[in-house]
Each structure stands twice: as C-alpha cells, then as structure tokens.
Chains A and B, each alone.
Chain A
Amino acid sequence: MAGLTIESVSKRFGEQTAVDGLSLEIEPGEFVALLGPSGCGKTTMLRMLAGFEAVSAGEIRLGGRTLASRERQVPPEQRNMAMVFQSYALWPHMSVADNVGYPLKLRRLGGEVYRRQVAKALAMVELAPYAQRSPQELSGGQRQRVALARCLVTDPDVVLLDEPLANLDRHLRASMELSFRDFHRRTRATLVYVTHDQSEAMALADRIAVMRDGRLAQWATPQTLYRQPRSAWVASFIGQGSLLDVAAGRPGQRLEEAALMRGLAAVAAERTQPLLVRPEHVTVLPDAPPRQGLQARVESATFRGERYELHLRLESGEALLAYHHTALGEGQQVALTLREGWCLELEI
C-alpha cells in the first residue's frame, strides 16, 4: 500500500481553469473525500488521478512512482487503480460474475484462482447468489455493490469513487454509506471519494478536501472542518451556523462566552472580526426579563422533529440560527446567550 501525493496539480481546458494548483498528501489506507459544489473541479481531479485527463501542471505520485506530470502520463490501464462510476458502468453484455472477473482476466488469471477471487469479492458485498444474473436484473443498490466488488477483486492501490450515491434514493444511501465504511475497514484500501453532499463526506471520510473554484479551500478531518473552518465560505458550506461580526479575537481562535458577549456589545465600527456561531451553542431564553443580555426577535420557526429551528434577527440586524425544544411565535422577543464561537479568516 502506497501513499498518494498530489503536488500543485492544475488542469486547464482552453481558457478555463478547472483545477488550480491543488496539493494533497494522502496517507496509505486513508479514506479521503473531495467535497465541493458542482463545478468546483473535484470530478476533474478524480479523472486526473485515474488518468482519463492529463495534468496541465504539477505532479501525481503513488508511492515513489510518478503517475502523471507534464512530461509523463501513465495510461489508466497501468495505474492499478479501480473506480466506481456514478452510472456504475457495468457491462451489460456480461453476467455479474464476468463483470467482477474481467480485471482478473486482463491479468491473465484463470482456473481455480480466478473462480476463488471472484467468489470472494462477491461474498464480500453479499452478492454471491446473484453471480450468474445480468446486471440489468439488479436493483440500484445491488448494481452499486457489483461495481464495488469489481473494484476490490484485483487488490488495487487506490479506489476512486465518483459520486457513487448520487443515483440512489435516500434510504438506500444510508445503507450504502454503511457498506462503504465496512468495505474500507475490511480492505484498508486508499479511497478517494468525490461528492457534493457534505453529510456524506462527513460520515465517511477520514479527511476531507473542500474545493472551491478549482482551489483547495481546506484540507482537514471532518471534526476540524466543522469546529474550526478556515473561512466563512467553508463555514457556510459545512453544517449550519450563523456569521456575526465581533470586536474580539483573531482568526483561528475560539471565543468563550464572556469574551464573545463582550465583543458583540461593541459599536459596529469596531466589530471587524467574522465569527461562526453554530446553532447548538445558542441558548434561547424566552422568559428572561426584558432589556437584559442579547436581544433578538423570532422571524420564523421550523419543525425538525427532535427540535425546532429558530430564525432570529438580532437588534444589530444580523441573522442568527438557533435550536429550541418548543415552538416560539413569530415576532416574539427573546434573550440569548452565545456559549462559544470560532473566529474565521478575513476574506478579501
């Protein structure tokens, strides 16, 4: 198992730059997600890893071996990678077993070894009874698992997944997320997973590369991304929360309740530090005596099952999201306590 190094990789299509100087160091056996809105270059990056697109600048290395640079480009068929496509890409003229066994045939494996490997791969995704079916007879989730089995049959160095859950319904997604995690735990393969769904990435990945307009916005674990996002854009892309301006702290600092409340009370001109406040850190006090602490007005309340989501408006005019266990009426005045906040980088 070898680590994957992406070094200042860029990709230009004519005038347009799809990926711009991206660098990532992926550990062997790591589950990595490339996350970003559509058009951010994540799929292009994945296709460069696979070798379907040439790099315009920079280098991709696997262990000590250079896979792609401006001068040299190892063709996809020699990279020893595997991929799960968004459309699964199961060959309709082959049975499930033949689909899974095709990479083995290309490596001139046959006979008993071939049969054993295919059976093992199918058993791992619990599809052994379906070996002789045609892919068209399978459901979406089953097809997905055939594609997974085809990936793991040759023991590839890297497995690439291109929005593999995009075509599935919500219930199937949850169960497939589980099987991906299970798959990773058992194979310990290096996985690169492209998605635009942040909850999917957070649930699955060891580390997430958040991309925006072809650049790396942040490269961190899911926990870090959620608690310590670098910029306002990452903060609003990952999870829920509100952005306030305060007169306290500096970028990359966590503010405790006292400092935070003081910073909020300053005059507008001095409040220049952007701050992220997650809704679970807002305490709403509907019955507090008037004119005490931070005041806000309820603009709307949305029922989310386990709680209500309150959209609040501060007296400064800023919007704030909070959770509460009961519904509050529109226009009701409440007092607030903000228990903590995270200072973001200033964006130019």
Chain B
Amino acid sequence: MVPGLTDGSQQRWLLTLLMLVIVALSLVPSLRLLMEALGDLAQGSESPLWRVLQAESTWRALWRSLYTSGLGMLIALLLGSLFAFVITLTDIRGKTGLVFCFMLPMMIPPQVTALSWLQLFGPASPLLKSIGMAPPLGSPQPLYSAEGIALLLGIQSAPLVFLALRTSLLSLPRELVEAARISGARQSQVWGQIILPVTRSGLVAGGAMAFISSLGNFGIPAMLGIPAGYYVLPTLIYQRMASFGTGVLAEMASLSLLIGALALAGVALQQAWMKRSRFGLVGHGGRAHDFALGRWRGGVTALLVAVLLAILVAPLAALVVSSLVPAMGVPLSWETITLNAYHEVIGRQGATWRAVRNSFWLAGSAAVVLMLCSLPLAYCLQRLPRRWQGLALSAIELPYALPGVVLAVACILLFVRPIPLVNVALYGSLGLIFVAYLARFLVVCLKPVAAGLAQLDPSLEEAAQLAGAGPWRRLGGIVLPLVAPALFAGGLLVFLLAVNELTVSALLWSAGNETLGVLIFNLDEGGESVLAAALSVLVVAMVAALMLCLSLLAYRLPRGVVPWQG
C-alpha cells in the first residue's frame, strides 16, 4: 500500500464557505432595495414609499400591469393547454417539430417578438403592402393598445403553460386512464373526468408562471405601450429613470418593491395552490398517452398548424420581409428587394458590432463563470439538510423570480457609489450588467446541474471515496464527467437568455455599453425599423441555432433540462 491520502475536512470548509458567499450575494440586491424603499418611512407622508403610494400614476400602472398580465395569462392558458393536451395525449404526427415551433416564441427575445408583430400589422407593414392588404395610411396600429400587449404577452408565455401541463400529463400514470376505459369511459369522458381533474395542478402552475412572467416583461409593453403612452409598472420605472436619472432612485425602489411583492405573492399563491391540488399518483408515469384521433386527425393537425402559422410564422415572415425592403412602407417586390439593411447593420453601424461584442462577452463570461460556480454549489446544496437546502435555493432563485426591472434598480442602488474598500466604480460600466447577469442567471445554470447530481447514484461517489479520493478529486474525476452534459446545457441556457436580455440592461446600459437587446430597442425607437428588423432576423437565427444545439445534446441530459423537450 502506497499512502498518499490527505485530510479532506479543510476542503469541505471551503465548499461550505463558497456556498454561504453565493447565497449572501444573491440576497444582497433585494435587501438593499428593501432598505432603500423602507428606509425613510420615518419622514411620514414625505417618505418616498408614501409619495409613490399616493401618486395616481402608480395605481394606474399597477392596474394596467394586472390587466395586461391577466389577459395575457388567459391567452397563454388557452394556447398552452390546447397544444399540451393534443401533443401529449393524442397520436398526432410530427410531435417533435410542433413542440419545437411552439417553444420558439419563449426563447425569442420579447423586443424581437414585439417588433415582428409590429411589422405584421399597421399601415406601414411591408408584408401587408406587398400583398396589397395594408390598411389606409393614417389608420391606427392595432397593437398599440392594452389588448395588443396582452396578446403578445400571452403568446410569449404560452410555452410556460404548455411545459407545466405537459410535465403533469406525462406524470399521469397510464393505468389511471386504462382503468377508466376498461370501466367503460369514452375518450371524451376520460379526458373530462380523469385527466383534467388530476392535472389541474399543472394548469394552475402554468397559469401562475405565465402571469408572473408577463408581470415582469419589459420588452413587449415597452415597444407597444410607450408609443401609445400606456405605461405598466416596469415601463413606468424605465421611463422615470430615463427622464430623471438617479435622482428618483428612492421612489423607483418603492415602485420596484411594489411589483416585486406582487410577483412574489404570485409565486406564493401558486405554490399554495399546487400543494392543495396535488395527488399522490401511483403507477408508471413518464409515457405519453395516445388517444386515437381517428378521422379528426387531419382537422386537429390543421388547427395546430394554423395557430403556429398565425403566432410564429406570420410575424417572423413580416420581420423577414421588413428586413429586405429599402424603407418602411415600401412593398417588397423583385425590384425593391435589397440586402442593404444587413449590410448596414453588419458593415457600417459601429454600434452593432459593439453591441454584439458586448452581449457575447457578457453572456459568454456569465455562462462560463456560472458553470464554474454551479458544480461546487450544487454539490454543497445536495449535502445540506433538506430545510436549509430549500432556503438556500429560494435565496438563489430570488434574483430570477423577481422582475428584471426590480433587479436592475437594486443593482443601481447597490453600485451607484464606488464599492467601499476596493474603490471600484461599477456604475456606468459593463461590469454592472455583468454582476446583474451573474445574480439573475445563477439559478438557470444551477438547476440542470442539481438535477443531474440528484440523478447520480450516490454509490458512484462513495466507491471513489472508499478508493481514497478526497472531495475535490471526486468532484473532478467522478462527478464532473458524469454531470458535464447538464453543466454544459446550463451554460448554454444562460448564454441563450443573457445574449438577448433587455430588461436588466435597458436600465443599466450607458453609451458605448449597449447590448444586443438594447440596440434593437433603440433602433426601433429611433425609427430605424428596417435595421431593427434585419438585426432581429439575425438574432432569431442565432436563437434557433442555439436551441438546436441543445436539442442535439438532449439525449444525454436529465429529463427537463432542455425546456422544450419534456
């Protein structure tokens, strides 16, 4: 026996310390925000929170937020459950393609969705012009309205409903359905009397997630609402910050507190509901059911394809058409078609390259840093007592669950003055956005890794331990190779979300530090819709390519890591 085995207790300490630091960092922005908003309560009616609560604009924006998100949730529930039920339960063909297409809107950045729909409707729509169906000049753009915002919010968050419901349908034991059918229930009765009641929790969860995500959405109400003077809470904060700068920070903190509390209340309500309607399901889940659609198959397929054409293909086609015309309002034909916009954004606009570089740098390094942290962090979390594990996870999840605007305001508060001791000023630099991304997307990277670790047979690691491997050795030699696909998927997801991120960077960017999301937003606001469209087309292509990469990786990943593959 050659000795050479070392003591591992010191390394365990290191891991625990790392975890404490990360959890604390996740909590700090929210705590700072809370302090700012509640700090001056002693001033009575002059305190910022009080002033904000008394302002009429606050309550108007709050009502509009609730209205658009509520309506958006209903649309999402309708679309999401239609697709979830048909694709999961029936023998319809081409399921993979349908799922991929339906999930795409979730991954397309909201400002691009909004832009593509704006290109689809309205008097200046190049697509409508090209086919001669454009409304007369001067007629209003129908999307510049509360309902327009709600429609797009619904489409964007429908995949969330789809996913939640699909998960719950897949966990429905096949025996339950078979028992009902052998008892004499027809397919429609099985659906109404067994499946719907049992999967109610999935429906509730999906609806709540759609509502919360719509509440925090910034890109859609910004592109559709601001031109019409229709402000919801996130856009109200953005508009105030844009007009008054850091002078109104205290009031913005109070507004953020309001919307943050609303979102967290939504999360709490959802979890309470889920608990109430959860059943103990016994049997073999995990297999899709296949009700025969029979002669209805053609019709149902046509319906789904038509919906996809309307919510995905038509707006994207409008976007592509818009990017190929010389100017807004010019119809597309063989004479007018031009790649000028692409030349312009890629070749001449210095801002484009800068934004692309910024976004890739931010998203890439955020992904790498988070991948590095995630494995040791997930490893530590797994070893915590169950109750602490839940608390730590909630802390890490907080910056992601809160609307992006709230995190942005919190980060400004935290870094508006140079960091004490080291005296580094983050405000007004890319570094600020980077720190915000780290906090926001940590949970995105952590979840797949934690799922991968949970799937790992503990004896694999115990065997290595008994063979003489210390904690770091086991982490590198045994655990890392086995969860590498999940880790990589987590990093890719972070990159996908961060590279198109708008909400946080809209508040945190400064001249020379714009991101891709901000650039599209600014181009459109500055009337350069054609350039914005060209850039958006490139962004959509990139998103689809990254999603395909993840799909190719999917068979090596734990279930549920790739969001569009249940």
A residues with CB within 8 A of B: 50-52, 75-83, 85-87, 89-93, 102-103, 106-109, 150, 154-155, 160
Contacts and interface: CB of A to CB of B under 8 A. Distances in A.
B467 interface: yes
B4 A85 contact: no
B3 A107 contact: yes
B466 A108 contact: no
B462 A52 contact: yes
Interface in B446-478: 457, 459-460, 462-470, 473, 477-478
A77 B459 CA distance: 14
A33 B470 CA distance: 29
B482 interface: yes
A42 to B, nearest CB: 16
A91 B469 CA distance: 14
A89 B3 CA distance: 24
B117 to A, nearest CB: 47
- Identify the 6 closest CB pairs spanning chains A and B, nearest first: A103-B467, A89-B459, A89-B463, A85-B459, A106-B468, A93-B481
Contacts of A154: 1, 467-468
B552 interface: no
B297 to A, nearest CB: 39
A311 B478 CA distance: 55
B466 A82 contact: yes
A92 B465 CA distance: 16
A108 B7 contact: no
B471 to A, nearest CB: 9
A160 to B, nearest CB: 8
Contact of B466 (A83, A87, A92, A155): A83
A51 B462 CA distance: 10
A80 B4 CA distance: 11
A107 B460 contact: no
Chain B, interface SS category? helix
Nearest to A147: B463
A80 B460 CA distance: 17
Contact of A79 (B2, B462, B466, B470): B466
A85 B9 CA distance: 25
Contacts of A91: 460, 463-464, 478, 482
B465 A155 contact: no
A107 B1 CA distance: 8
Nearest to B462: A52
A110 to B, nearest CB: 11
A81 B462 CA distance: 12
A54 B511 CA distance: 59
Contacts of B469: 77, 102, 106
Given A77-B468, A109-B2, 8 more contacts: A75-B7, A78-B5, A86-B459, A89-B463, A102-B477, A106-B4, A155-B1, A160-B466
Nearest to A92: B482
B481 A77 contact: no
A117 B49 CA distance: 73
A83 B466 CA distance: 7
Given A75-B7, A78-B468, A83 B463 contact: yes
A148 B452 CA distance: 27
A81 B463 CA distance: 10
Interface in B472-495: 473, 477-478, 481-482
A106 B5 contact: yes
The interface centre, meaning the residue of B7, B457, B466, B477 with most chain A CB atoms within 10 A of its CB, is: B466
A256 to B, nearest CB: 51
Given A77-B8, A77-B470, A85 B2 contact: no
Contacts of A103: 467-468
Contact of A89 (B4, B9, B457, B468): B457
Contacts of B2: 107-109
The interface centre, meaning the residue of B8, B457, B459, B478 with most chain A CB atoms within 10 A of its CB, is: B459
Given A87-B457, A87-B459, A89-B460, A150 B482 contact: no
A89 B5 contact: no
Contact of A50 (B8, B462, B478): B462
A83 B462 contact: yes
Interface string B6-23: 011100000000000000
Contacts of A81: 466
Contacts of B478: 91
Nearest to A75: B8
Contact of A107 (B7, B464, B468): B468
A81 B467 CA distance: 7
Contacts of B463: 83, 85, 89, 91, 150
A329 B8 CA distance: 69
A89 B469 CA distance: 15
Contacts of B4: 106-108
A77 B1 contact: no
A286 B460 CA distance: 59
A175 to B, nearest CB: 23
Nearest to A155: B1
Contacts of B482: 91-93
Given A107-B2, A108-B4, A77 B465 contact: yes
Nearest to A74: B7
Interface string B27-41: 000000000000000
The interface centre, meaning the residue of A81, A90, A91, A150 with most chain B CB atoms within 10 A of its CB, is: A91
B2 to A, nearest CB: 4
A89 B464 CA distance: 9
30 contacts: A50-B462, A50-B466, A51-B466, A75-B8, A75-B9, A76-B466, A77-B469, A78-B5, A78-B7, A78-B468, A80-B468, A82-B466, A82-B467, A83-B462, A87-B457, A87-B459, A89-B459, A89-B460, A90-B460, A91-B463, A91-B464, A92-B482, A102-B469, A106-B4, A106-B467, A108-B2, A108-B4, A150-B467, A154-B467, A160-B466
B1 A80 contact: yes
Contacts of B9: 75
The interface centre, meaning the residue of B7, B463, B481, B482 with most chain A CB atoms within 10 A of its CB, is: B463
A93 B466 CA distance: 18
Contacts of B477: 102
A278 B267 CA distance: 66
The interface centre, meaning the residue of A81, A86, A103 with most chain B CB atoms within 10 A of its CB, is: A103
A66 B477 CA distance: 29
